[in-house]
Chain A
Amino acid sequence: MTTTEMEARPKQKVERREESTRPGRYFAPAVDILETNDEIVLLADMPGVPADAVDVHLDGDQLTIEGRVRPEDYAGLKPLHVEYVVGGYHRTFALGEAIDRDGIRAAMQQGVLTLHLPKAEHARVRRIEVSVG
């Protein structure tokens, strides 16, 4: 088996446009976005974010995901060597497709957010059978 090194990608810091009362740094999570005929699936790496600290907002065609980390996990720890900065995650996407809002499903598992965004009925690609007359 060949060992390919997993490429380290330094976290990208993001400046939040809106005023925030929550202190701390925010980073853009790495995402995969897949599209099938019926839905758009978004997977976001947000290590350190528990399931109850994720917010997903859909405003018009603008999708925002946000995750917060637990500062108490770092209480009493003095940094000696640092390769990543601990912080929350924030990223906004413009969706090209009409989404069925009631059908959105989100799951958080081991720091990975999985978001299923079903396409609205009228946005699905439909195969129309041509009947031979």
Chain B
Amino acid sequence: MATYRDPFERLQGELERMLEQAFAAFGPGGVSPSVDVFDAGDAFVVKAELPGLDPRSVEVSVEDGALTLRGERKLPEPQAGAAFHRREREEGAFRRVVRMPARVAADQTQAEYRDGVLTVRLPKAPESRPRRVEIQAA
């Protein structure tokens, strides 16, 4: 019997599997902030969860096929006399370097910050793009 599976749910399942494998190899922790790297055919897409950031405090740069995300998250000071019941949200400076799996056209990199997610799109260099090779009939 064929079961309907939502494509997004399938993607989540695939992400989960890869995450388990990644952590099995390196153990938890030691990374900040969390990033996901995707292949979009003609570009690589890097997404980082960075809620509540001032976009002006984020620096995105590409050098030698590596993407660097740098910034700082500052949480506003609570008003005087406020008592914390829970304090789970983190603040501080971060720096992440993500190596691209193939050559990218660094000068065409685009970054967008929306709903607390930073998305960087790095177009692949022409030689790294998928190419369909025509077979010549002899």
Q: B-contacting residues of A (Cβ < 8 Å)?
A: 1, 3-11, 23-25, 30-37, 40-41, 43, 45-50, 71, 73-87, 109-112
Contact = CB atoms under 8 A, between A and B. Distances in A.
**B contact face: mostly helix, strand, loop, or mixed:** mixed
Interface in B4-30: 6-9, 11-12, 14-16, 18-19, 22-23, 28-30
Main secondary structure of the interface of A (DSSP, over half): loop
Given A81-B18, A83-B35, 6 more contacts: A7-B29, A8-B30, A40-B85, A46-B116, A74-B38, A110-B52
A65 to B, nearest CB: 13
B39 A84 contact: no
A9 B88 CA distance: 10
B87 interface: yes
Given A33-B86, A48-B49, A24 B6 contact: yes
B11 A31 contact: no
B36 A84 contact: yes
Nearest to B20: A82
A6 B73 contact: yes
Given A6-B91, A80-B44, A83-B31, A47 B51 contact: yes
Contact of A81 (B37, B90, B116): B37
30 contacts: A6-B33, A6-B92, A8-B31, A8-B32, A8-B34, A10-B34, A11-B34, A25-B12, A30-B88, A32-B75, A32-B88, A32-B89, A33-B85, A35-B83, A35-B85, A45-B51, A47-B49, A48-B115, A49-B115, A75-B7, A77-B45, A78-B39, A79-B36, A81-B18, A85-B12, A110-B51, A110-B53, A111-B49, A111-B52, A112-B51
Contacts of B52: 45, 109-112
Interface in B49-74: 49-53, 73
Given A86-B12, A110-B53, A4 B93 contact: yes
